[in-house]
Amino acid sequence: IVPHGHFSTTMEAIEYLRTEYSEYEIFGMETTDKSINYTTISYKKEEEDVFVLGNEVSGVDTEIMPYLDRLIEIPMFGAKNSLNIAACAPVVLYEVLRQWNTATDEEGN
C-alpha cells in the first residue's frame, strides 16, 4: 500500500514529508535552468523518493522549488519546451522502475 494523504497546499505536503519522513528525497519535475536530466539520477529501490508534478498551465509552483531536493526534467528537442503531465509522469516513473529492475537483475534476485 502506498501511503497517501490530502493537503490544502503543496507546501503543507512538503512540510509534512520533511517532518514525518525526513529520509525521503523530494524531486520536482519541472523544466528550469537548474533542472537536471531525469536519466542522470540513480533511483534506488531501497530509498524513498517523492515526485512533485505541477499543473498543465503553470507547472510546479516556483515558491516551493527551493524546498525540493532536486529539479528534474525530460530533455526536449524542437519548439516545445515540455510535455504535459500525463506524458511526463509515466516517462520518469518508467525510468525509476527500469533502474529498480536492472538493480534486481544484477543482484540475482
Question: Could you report the per-residue pLDDT of 10-39, keeping only the tens digit for each?
Answer: 999 999 999 999 999 999 999 899 999 999
Look-up: residue for cell 520518469? 92
All cell numbers assigned to 55: 499543473
Show the cell assigned to 28: 520536482
Q: Is the dihedral of CA 56, 62, 63, 68 positive or negative?
A: positive
Would strands 25-29 and 70-73 be described as parallel, antiparallel, or unpaired?
parallel
* pTM reported for the whole predicted model: 0.84
